[in-house]
Every structure is written in structure tokens, then in C-alpha cells.
Amino acid sequence: MGRYIFKRLLLILPTLFLILLANFMVVQAAPGGPVEQQLALIEQGAKDQALNANIGAGSSGANSTYQGTRGLSDEMVAAINAQYGFDKSAPERFWLMLKNYAKLDFGESFFKGQSVTDLIVEKLPVSISLGLWSTLLIYLIAIPLGIYKAMHHGSAMDKATAMLLAVGHAIPVFVFAVILLVFFAGGSYWHIFPLQGLTSENFDQLSALGKVKDYFWHLALPLLASTVGGFAGLTYLTKFSFLEELGKQYVLTARAKGLGERQVLYGHVFRNAMLIIIAGIPAAIVGIFFASNFLIEIIFKLDGLGLLGFEAIQQRDYPVIFGTLFIFTLVGLLLQLISDLSYHLIDPRIDFEGR
């Protein structure tokens, strides 16, 4: 198994390289980069300044001394290119980025005046908090519900919950989040929960119990949106895993010996049926953290890595874009490796090295 782990760790490096290269090429080709945005801001500022001067002097635009229509000087454009590192060729910039990333140096944000590392450390607790709570809720709901559905397969309750699960799974997470905002956050109906943010403005002035209440009050809608969109698949995985085990010979033998249903379920079936569910936890965390909660953070304005990455894309803040992408990719690859290892630890018969 050690050889397999070593191979997987080695594969992380070329995988990271290819993902960063592909995204670097796509981002570089996209119009409206930081240089273009800065030039547009300078020109707009010059226009506004000239317009205000004309209004103050009572003169017409035709007699203005504004020179912006002639374009910015070559020296100014060159200085702005140098400021953002665009005085170098694309291969040079990519090579420098790789060398810095090898030292875990993600550079400085173009627009926020902070290092990318500091920004990631600052935003990470919000993403971890949302991800851990949503993962916990999903598993606490999905596993008992899946077991119940397996034990009562074909019943009216099983069919009714199947319909609800199908609806919850079919509605995209971001659509359900918007629906919650409209109905419960002052949209068109009730203003029960806050519209955005993770804490109130007076959070620091609250008591310890008040802070806890305020935190979960703000977290209620984001958690509900994330949970509803994520537990349907796990519920069905649990149900069919238990159904498969319930049909095996050892279960019939246990029942023939006179054991009760609860003894059969929790004494024999539970351990075997839960193998695939427990082993799949790392992969599930990847989906919850980096897919569902990315959109949740944007919609509810939760100041985490998802919102940071989204704002960086809007502003073409390349160091932040590639820094968050690097972190997301690295954590995702490591969690996938942990997922494979958990399969082997739970069931030693699964031998990836042998394959």
C-alpha cells in the first residue's frame, strides 16, 4: 500500500501542473484583464475631472483642455503593465508562478492590498465552518432516512420520501437558495432570517450565548440550502447498500436462528453496509466544499473562499484566482487519496496496489 500512496503523491504534481496550465491559458485569453481595467479607470477618472472642470468654468466640452481622447502615454501604459507583471511574456509569468507556488508564495492581490496567503487564511474559517456543519447535517439526516427506507422498502412512507428526495435533488442548490431568500429573508414574504453575512453588525457586543444564537441565525438558510441539495444521493446510497446486505445469505441465517430484526440490522448488516458510505466521506466533502458551498457563499454573501474566488474572477485578480484554484485542487486531490485509503482500511480485501 505504501507504493500505491507514493505513486498517487507523485501524480499530484503533474495533475496540479496541467490544471494550472489549462486555467492560466484560459484566463490569459479572457478579455478585460487587470491592465485593461486599470487603464479604463484612469481614462474615466480623467474624463470626470475634465467634465467637472468644464462645469465649474462654465465652458463647453469643445473648449476643454482634457487630453484623454488622445489616449494614455506609452510610458504610463508600460508602467501599468510592469505594475501587474505584464511586462513579461506569458511563459515567463507562468514559470515565475510555478517557482513561487513551490515555495507556497501565492503573491499579492492586485486590488485588495494583501498577500494571497493572508486572504486565504482570513477567509478559510468561514468555508470550513459552513462545510463542516452542512456535511454533519447531511450525514445525520441521510443515513437514518436511508436505513428506514431500506427497512420499509415499498411502503407508502418510502414512496412519499422518494418523491421529496427526487424534488430536492432535481432543484439546483443556487435556485433553492434564492427561493429561501425570497420567502424568508425579506424578499416578497417574510423577513425571518438575515439576507446576507455570517454575523450581525453588533456581534462583538453580544454575550457568549447571544453570539452563538446570532451565528446560527445567520447560518440557518445557507445550511438549509446546502443540506437539501446534498443529502438525496447519500440517502439512496445508504438505502440500496442496506437492501443489498439484507438480501444476503448470512442475514437469512441470522433470522433463521431466531434473532430479532434490530439484532440482525445493527449486529450484522450495519457494519457491512456502512463500509461504502464511510469510505465515501472524503469524496463527499470535496463535493460539498467545492461545489455546493461555493454557490452558497456567493448567494448569501458569506465571506469565505468561494466568495473570494468569485470576486477575484470578476476583478481579474489573477494571483487570487490561481491561489484559490491551487488550494482547491490540492485539497481535492489529497481528499481523493484519503478516500481510496479509507476503502482499504475499512475493507482490506480492496487492494489498489494489486490492481
pLDDT in tens, 129-161: 888 888 888 888 888 898 888 888 888 888 888
pLDDT tens, position by position, 300-329: 888 888 888 888 888 788 888 888 888 888
Q: Show the domain range for 277.
A: 116-346
Domain-located, residue 21: no
Instruction: Assess if residue 214 is contained within a domain.
Output: yes
pLDDT (tens digit per residue) in 165-192: 888 778 888 888 888 888 888 767 788 8
CATH of the domain at 313: 1.10.3720.10
**Does residue 86 belong to any structural domain of this protein?**
yes
- Give the 3-state secondary structure of 121-179: HHHHHHHHHHHHHHHHHHHHHHHHHHHHHHHCCCCHHHHHHHHHHHHHHHCCHHHHHHH
Same domain, 59 and 203: no
For residues 301 and 163, state if they share a domain. Answer: yes
Domain boundary among 90, 105, 126: 90
Over residues 226-249, mean pLDDT:
83
